[in-house]
Amino acid sequence: MGDRPKELHALLASVAAQEGDPAKVVVLGQGVPLPELPSGIAAVELPENLGIPGGRNKGVELLRESGGVDVVVVLDDDGLLPRTDSFRLVREAFAVNSRLGVVSFRIVDEEGLTARRHVPRLGASDPLRSSEVTTFLGGAHAIRMSVIDQVGDFPAPFFYAHEETDFAWRALDADWEIHYRADLVLRHPRTDPARHATYYRRTARNRVWLAKRHLPAVLVPVYLASWTAYTLARRPPLPGLRAWWAGFFEGVRTSCPPRRPMRWRTVWRMTRLGRPPVI
């Protein structure tokens, strides 16, 4: 968004410090001018803010056109790679497992702590334990380019919220694996997701779209009921709750095609991994 030039330069320096061959780097300005960047970095200023998934799709398109890119790493512009071996570990992970489609980094705050919401496992148990998971973190992840070619782009209409889960469910249904790696770390300031003005509305709307796009019909009401109960139990502020319900009914009224329900085999696989797609 162009409002964190100092943090962006620190991130780019940490990317340049990675071991092995240098990575191709694309920085997108979402409807804003970019600051001056180091040489060798592709700086692209988009005419408008396409949202998180739309921006990622544009970045992937540019990397695909450049050729020779097998793995795409996405990093928040206010993040920082504290280790110099992260990209080497990513390369090794994809090289040794041909079914590995997505790698999710561990995100830590200024004090080195990992928030529960940054561990993509039900219950967020032990952030230092790596495992196979059913979704991944948007702020720091790596995706095999062939997975994107097979299952498609991130859902641009979502704009913000749950675009990673949408992509993850499609990847799982195509028999790819998603791994959470505790040894791949991105340092990121502690933030509140509700800081975004449209957080509650888009979170609710996109939950409904996610269910309508990918769940077997019988599971759609179960999934939405469980998330409604969870939201009410957290007792959001009244303005937030109003926005949440507005987004929920917006998702019910409107469609976000295509609808491609996952196979029951995928439902069972997610259940065995500890997160059935109704929770």
CATH of the domain at 123: 3.90.550.10
Average pLDDT value for residue range 114-137: 85
169, two tokens: 């469910």
Same domain, 34 and 100: yes
* Per-residue model confidence (pLDDT) at position 192: 66
Q: How many domains does the chain have?
A: 2
Peptide bond into 236 cis (omega under 30): no
Strands 71-75, 42-46: pairing is unpaired
Same domain, 182 and 240: no
Same domain, 128 and 62: yes
Does residue 196 carry a pLDDT above 80?
no
As a whole number of angstroms, the distance between CA 254 and CA 249 comes to 8
Question: What mean pLDDT, rounded, does the chain reach?
Answer: 93
- Summarised one tens digit per residue, pLDDT across range 53-89 is 999 999 999 999 998 899 999 999 999 999 999 999 9
Residue 279 lies in a domain: no
Q: Name all contacts of 257-260 with Cβ < 8 Å and 24+ positions apart.
A: 257/213, 258/213, 259/212, 259/213, 259/214, 260/170, 260/173, 260/213, 260/214
Average pLDDT value for residue range 249-262: 96
Same domain, 235 and 103: no
Same domain, 105 and 121: yes
Same domain, 120 and 246: no
Residue that is last in its domain, among 169, 191, 213: 191
- Say if CB 78 and CB 7 are below 8 A apart: yes
Range of the domain at 109: 5-191
CA 27 to each of CA 45, 106, 203, 240, 261: distance values in angstroms, whole numbers, following the listed order? 8, 22, 26, 32, 34
Residue that is last in its domain, among 191, 220, 238: 191
Interaxial angle between packed helices 163-173 and 51-66, expressed in degrees from 0 to 180 and rounded to the nearest 10: 50
